[in-house]
Amino acid sequence: MNKKLLNLLLVIVMLAVLVPTTLAAPPAQEGQDYVVVADDWLSKLADKYLGNPMAYPAIVEYTNKKHAEDASYAEITNPDLIEVGWKVYIPSAEEAAAIAPAPPAAAVTLVLSNWHLAEPHWEKTIKAAIPLFEKEYPNIKVELQVVSYAEKDAKYATEIQAGAGPDLMHLAGYSIRNFVESGFLYDITPFVQKEPSGFLDQWYPELVEVLKYQDKLYGLPSDHMAMILAYNKKLFTEAGLDPNKPPTTWDEFVDYAKKLTRDRNGDGQIDTWGFGTVGAVDPGWELRFSPVLLSHGAAYLTPDNKCSALNSPEAKEAFKFWVGLVTDAKVVPPGVTSQGAGAVRVQFANEQIAMKIGSGWTEPIIPTINKDFNVPENLGAAPMPVKAGKTLAKTTTGWYSSWLINKNTKYPEQAWTLLKWLTSKESDQRWFDGARVLSSRRDVSGDPDKGLKPYQPIADDKFSQVIQAELKHAQINPQLKEWPQIADTVNKEVQNAFTGSKSADDALKDAHDQINQILAPYRTAGETCPAY
């Protein structure tokens, strides 16, 4: 009896000692195979399995060793680029210990420049997003550089020409082509080729084409919006119009505008007008005039971009219509040729105009100009009016912007990482949340052809949902280096017609002739353009 008890006691004591110690000892981690899934990156795996994000060189080393023997393992040539589905080998702690971890210092600093940093409303969103990037990529620090919208092209062009400039830049549509064709940007084609196939399909194709030149790709698309008609529901009601029935055709539009042009405060003078628009030389001018041209079935240039197409009957009709708003219908406030986009917003916010052409930025900006403008109740959004009797695919203009890498960048790999991150689905969704700007990505702005639904908040927002629906009807400007000059030429002739210096016909003819002269370098000796 005593011996049995002693044996039991011994066993219990042994268990009591051995079990805890066995349990307390760290699991002797074996080296293991691992298949990469989405949202994985090497430092994350190293952190999870080896306890140190900087230990990822060990994963690289061992995986490549395994690959040499067994081709089912991936070969990691670039630790920043791993693909979903790759089989990697995560070494055991002892094996990992043999490989030196990546030095935690040697952080690369990239300079990122974006004009949105100068706008109080937008800068917050960017500043909140950057730390998220830095957390994900601890080796890359991002320094933000402010520049104003008007000065950015001058600053970037001068700096890049002289061999410097920020690593990443954000540019608005009208100057992208200039930067692309002047050789100011870094060719990212090699990086894209390493991406899984279909990488570029994430964006609307015409926006990717903007960034292609001579078979090379120079950036990734960022924002994308369509111009729509914004209107003041209160003014509609006051003028006896149904606030929920905005004009759908241009004829209706003029009708409405005439009714909305009236004397509101009873002093005998007209103080509210139906429509306000940009007439000054302003980069946003073309966004307002192009829809009229497009929806009448006209175009600026011939499809081969070698001649002006403003001599078509449709173009003449569109031009006369636009000019007539000022000279005949008189539904536009005085001084339109000196109004820039900002001035028109101020007019709209002060209820001096009832309708204007705008887009995503209209909604958040109006309250900052006039707190008393009741945006939820009074701001109406409607698709761009069309020409009655014409069914056309493209009836409004598309606004777009891109992220680009400077050709002088010292860290192309890291810049590419940042570029991808900035144009990723999550980034664009965050950008919409903060800035109410839609994206060039199909999976954020939606693509019914591919069965992709838009990001839910876009569909839920009254204003943005109209923009989203118009995206498929949006046409972006012709992509050639001479585009700013062509736009300015037409702008100036519109001004001449508005002020009565020239008749609408003469102005359009002059525009037509000047554009043909601008495009002369594209034509060979034998080719001529049709006269007006």
Partner 1 sequence: MNQRLRTTTVTKRRMRTTTVLTYLILIGVCLFNLLPFVFMLFTSLKTDQEAYAIPPTFWPERATLDAYTQIIVWSDFPRYFLNSTIVSLGTALLSTVLGALAGYGFSRFNFRGRGSYMGLILATQMLPGVLLVGPYFKLLSAVGLYNTYLGLILAFTTITLPFSVWMMKGFIDTVPEELDHAALVDGCTPLSAFVRVIMPVIGPGMVATIVFAFLLAWGDLLWALVLTSSDDMAMVTLGLSRLVTQFRVIWPQLMAGSVIASVPCMVLYLTLQNYLVKGLTAGAVKE
Partner 2 sequence: MNQSLVSKALFRSIRLNTGFAFVFPCLLLLLLVLGFPAFVAVANSFTPVWSNVKTFTLDNYIKLQQDKQFWESLRVTIVFVAGTVSLHLILGLGVALALNTEPLGNWFFRIIAILPWTVPDVISGLVWRFMYDPTAGIINYFLDRLGVQNPYVEWLAAPHLALPSVIFADVWRGYPFVMLILLAGLQAIPKELYEAARVDGASVLQEFRHITIPGLSRMFQVAFALDVIWQFRRFGLVYNMTQGGPGNATDILPLAIYRQYFRYFNFEYASAMAVVLAVIMIAISIPYVRMMVKRT
**Residues in contact with partner 1 by the rule CB under 8 A:** 115-116, 118-120, 145-151, 154-155, 158-159, 161-164, 341-342, 345-347, 349-350, 352, 361, 365, 368-372
Residues 323-382 that bind partner 2 (CB under 8 A): 333-339, 343, 346-347, 350, 352
Nearest-10 Cα torsion for 354, 356, 362, 367: -20
Q: Give Cβ neighbours of residue 118 (< 8 Å, ≥ 6 apart).
A: 146, 147, 148, 149
CA–CA separation, 319 and 95 (whole Å):
74
- Residue 159 is a binding residue for partner 2 (CB under 8 A): no
Question: Using the 8-state DSSP alphabet, how is residue 48 labeled?
Answer: I
* Pick 42 or 349: Cβ nearer partner 2: 349
Nearest distance, CB of residue 502 and partner 2, angstroms: 8
Nearest distance, CB of residue 111 and partner 1, angstroms: 8
CA–CA separation, 380 and 358 (whole Å):
11
Among 123, 223, 282, 351, binds partner 2 (CB under 8 A): 282
Three-state DSSP at 509 gives helix
Among 51, 138, 183, 190, binds partner 2 (CB under 8 A): 183
Nearest distance, CB of residue 399 and partner 1, angstroms: 11
Beta strands 87-90 and 32-35, pairing class: antiparallel
CB under 5 to 8 A by kind: which of partner 2, partner 1, none does 178 bind? partner 2
Stretch that binds partner 2, among 24-32, 62-70, 97-105, 274-282 (CB under 8 A): 274-282
- Residue 277 is a binding residue for partner 2 (CB under 8 A): no
- Residue 274 is a binding residue for partner 2 (CB under 8 A): no
- Residue 492 is a binding residue for partner 2 (CB under 8 A): yes
CB under 5 to 8 A by kind: which of partner 1, partner 2, none does 73 bind? none
Beta strands 108-113 and 140-145, pairing class: parallel
Helix (H) or strand (E) holding 217: strand 216-217
- Residue 495 is a binding residue for partner 2 (CB under 8 A): yes
Helix (H) or strand (E) holding 307: none
Diameter over CA atoms, the chain: 123
Q: Got the DSSP string for 140-196?
A: EEEEEE---TTTHHHHHHHHHHTT---SEEEEEHHHHHHHHHTT-B---HHHHHHSP
Nearest distance, CB of residue 296 and partner 2, angstroms: 24
CB under 5 to 8 A by kind: which of partner 1, partner 2, none does 481 bind? partner 2
Three-state DSSP at 480 gives coil
CB under 5 to 8 A by kind: which of partner 2, partner 1, none does 496 bind? partner 2
Identify the CA nearest to 189 among candidates 412, 451, 30. Answer: 412
Q: Which residues bind partner 2 (CB under 8 A)?
A: 153-154, 157, 161, 175, 178, 182-183, 279-282, 333-339, 343, 346-347, 350, 352, 481-482, 484-485, 488, 492-493, 495-496, 498-499, 501
